[in-house]
Structure 1
Amino acid sequence: MTDFEPLPHEEQLPILLELANKALSHYDLPAGSTAKMLNLSENATYKVDAPDGRRWALRVHREDYHSRQAIASELAWEIDLRQTGVVTTPNPVKGKDGEFIQEITHPRMPRPRNVVLFDWETGVEPGIGEDLSGPFEVLGEITARMHIHARQWQRPSWFTRLTWDFDTALGDDNPHWGRWRDGVGMDREMKQLFQRTVDLIGRRLKAYGKGADRFGLIHCDLRLANLLIDGHSVKAIDFDDCGFGWYMYDAATPVSFYEHEPQVPGLIESWVKGYRKQLALPKEDEAEIPTFIMLRRVLLVAWIASHIEAEFPKSLGAGYTDGTLPLCEEYLRKFG
């Protein structure tokens, strides 16, 4: 389902752009600043350019995904991570009314949209074809520091975020990103193999448990598109899916959409090496990383199907579902 049916998908984009440009008037920005879409995923993200060369990133939140309180919770964690030097995160900008979250209306939308503006962060998105062993080691260190922070931080009393566990990811009752059974190109034989894989993931995670040393507040989406390489530093952006999940899930998300690539085991080794520079990582936790990679892969099959009208999911389509089959077989062979 799209954000505001019955509008066709192609008509949503210009309306979102109109709303984004309308939102700019709510901030103290230079006259003549304009918004241009960067990507459309859960939210619509825009690059804002001012005539004097300054830049910002504007995020228009989708309907019915996060409440205003949940968005404020995300920003609270981001701000504290940045201020305490744990990791460089996007810096939110207050509107003219002193609030980080602005509510913008459009006559062709049934309800207002929540909008957040961020200072522009320098850096380059890493590519899977590059030598990422160094950046993944740095990312492992950063992730460990984030996990330490999450365990020690006194969250505001009103803090609320989604929980990402087996049921909310791959369960049958209203999972956050849709049902894996609805994957693009899924047929009966595929469903049988996927089901065996999902059942194994469920059994292993039930045995693994949700102890405080294994389950807590995490980024949840440290994929390459949400990282910026700036010299020797790695910045983490887009905390829109942060929530409560297994810490080792943050080891799996950096290889999202590339789980099948041959360099992935080496990248995970680099990540683990960096992580252990900051925080002890028991062998039992390291041994379960393949389960979280498989969980993420199946979850993304569901995500692609539920977002198929957007350009990136459409480009992956049935090929991503097909490419998951050998990963299922390998996982069942090794851990079943």
Structure 2
Amino acid sequence: MHENIDSMMIVKHALERYLIQSKDIQYLGESENLNYRIKAIMNEKENDFLLKIRYSSANQNLVEIIESELKWLEALESDLTYNVPGPVRNKEGEHITTITIDNSDEKIYVSLYKWVEGDLLNRPPTIEETISFAKLVAALHKQSKNWDIIDKSNVRVYDADNLISSYTQLSQNLNALITEEAKICLEQTIQKISCEINNQKITRNTWGMIHSDLHESNYVFYKDEPRPIDFSNCGLGFYLFDIAEIFMHLSHENQKVFISTYSTIHQLQDNYVNVIEAFFLWSIIRTFSFHSINPEEHENTASTLNWVIDTYCKKYLEDENFLLY
């Protein structure tokens, strides 16, 4: 879609708008953004930074969504003892640097972050690491609970509409690869989850800004301390949805360790197990929806989806617990 745009030229042009002197630029890869590691001099010290490039065509409210992410990161950097990728403002004091491409309606939005030192685990976390990670997540939620975002109108929101949107995309992309029986079971599951979402009470203790994507590639460990990275998908949502996303990547034993530790810091609602199970399935649907965009992943995604329906959805519809039992 953006093959004709010289991304490295964009990076160099954008860096001129910041009070840093770049020494080295390393391309890290592309997910929803183009990501670069920048080695540069700032305040007479050599530092590393993360630079993200995002295109205006990705979302009509993209500027507001990015701004909400950066404002929350700025607040987290101020309020928490944990290290987070704090935003770096440009020479004009702005969070976002906008670049216009000649002869194009496309706009490019660049944001610069402080680099977070640490290493990906590349393996399941130990019990001790899970305890540390749970304390980090509880700290994020505690800060969110006490932080008031100024403008909520253009923040990404994780609600029943988000579930339905994910389900619609998934079912359209994989329709030919799912059996009729599986389709009926999945549709009933979606309806039940949607009711669960809509029945939740939105209070300071249950709802606020969440990371929403804390899988194993979005946190690092530095000297036994977990550090969250990549807040690109953050938005307003239920704290239990954040936990459900995390549970997708933890063993059954570590799920129990996580929730036991978390509950000592952040109060859980009475029916949290049933809610997490509903949100766990929501998280899976959301993930599969993302993968269904790529035709090369259709067969594998459909096969795994059928397994999820047999392993989890059928139990969920029968009110049989499948997590934290």
TM-score interval (norm. to shorter): 0.7 to 0.9
Task: Quote how far apart the aligned CAs of 1:113 are.
Answer: 1.1
Aligned to 1:144: 138
Aligned to 2:320: none
- In structure 2, which of residues 296, 299, 313 is the aligned counterpart of residue 332 of structure 1? 313
Task: Quote how far apart the aligned CAs of 1:178 are.
Answer: 6.7
Aligned to 2:110: 115
CA separation of 1:28 and 1:43: change in aligned 2, threshold 3 A: same
In 2: Cα distance, 1:60 partner to 1:177 partner: 28
In 1: Cα distance, 2:190 partner to 2:152 partner: 34
- TM-score, structure 1 normalization: 0.81
- In structure 2, which of residues 292, 301, 324 is the aligned counterpart of residue 305 of structure 1? 292
CA separation of 1:144 and 1:196: change in aligned 2, threshold 3 A: same
Unaligned ranges ≥5, structure 2: 318-325
CA separation of 1:122 and 1:272: change in aligned 2, threshold 3 A: same
Q: Which moves more between the two structures, 55-64 or 107-116?
A: 107-116
Q: Which SS does the other structure have where 2:21 is aligned? A: coil
- In structure 2, which of residues 27, 52, 55 is the aligned counterpart of residue 59 of structure 1? 52
Please, what is the CA RMSD of the aligned residues?
2.8
* Identical pairs, percent: 19
Does the 8 Å CA contact 1:30/1:50 hold for their aligned counterparts?
yes
Task: Quote how far apart the aligned CAs of 1:117 are.
Answer: 0.7
Aligned to 1:97: 92
- In structure 1, which of residues 135, 139, 152 is the aligned counterpart of residue 129 of structure 2? 135
CA separation of 1:103 and 1:177: change in aligned 2, threshold 3 A: farther
In 1: Cα distance, 2:92 partner to 2:16 partner: 11
Task: Quote how far apart the aligned CAs of 1:50 are.
Answer: 4.1
Aligned to 2:75: 80
- TM-score, structure 2 normalization: 0.84
Aligned to 1:231: 223
1:219 aligns with 2:211: yes
Question: Match of 2:83, as an amino acid?
Answer: T
In 2: Cα distance, 1:57 partner to 1:132 partner: 28
Q: Which SS does the other structure have where 1:98 is aligned? A: coil
Task: Quote how far apart the aligned CAs of 1:108 are.
Answer: 6.7
Question: Match of 1:21, as an amino acid?
Answer: K
Q: Which SS does the other structure have where 1:280 is aligned? A: coil
- In structure 1, which of residues 254, 275, 280 is the aligned counterpart of residue 262 of structure 2? 275
CA separation of 1:148 and 1:320: change in aligned 2, threshold 3 A: same
Q: Choose between structure 1 and 2: higher strand proportion.
A: 2
Q: Which SS does the other structure have where 2:217 is aligned? A: helix
Runs of 4+ with deviation above 6 angstroms: none
Q: Which SS does the other structure have where 2:125 is aligned? A: coil
CA separation of 1:114 and 1:135: change in aligned 2, threshold 3 A: same
1:187 aligns with 2:177: yes
In 1: Cα distance, 2:126 partner to 2:298 partner: 26
Deviations 1:24-75 (A, max 9, x none): 22222225442x3223122211112349964210011232434323322221
1:294 aligns with 2:281: yes
Q: Which moves more between the two structures, 101-110 or 144-153?
A: 101-110
1:264 aligns with 2:251: yes
Deviations 1:181-215 (A, max 9, x none): 13458524153443233223223334445455333
Question: Match of 1:205, as an amino acid?
Answer: I
In 1: Cα distance, 2:241 partner to 2:287 partner: 13
1:30 aligns with 2:11: no
Q: Which SS does the other structure have where 2:38 is aligned? A: strand
Aligned to 2:299: 318
Task: Quote how far apart the aligned CAs of 1:283 are.
Answer: 4.3
In 1: Cα distance, 2:176 partner to 2:82 partner: 39
Size of the aligned set, in residue pairs, is: 310
1:49 aligns with 2:43: no
Q: Which SS does the other structure have where 2:37 is aligned? A: strand
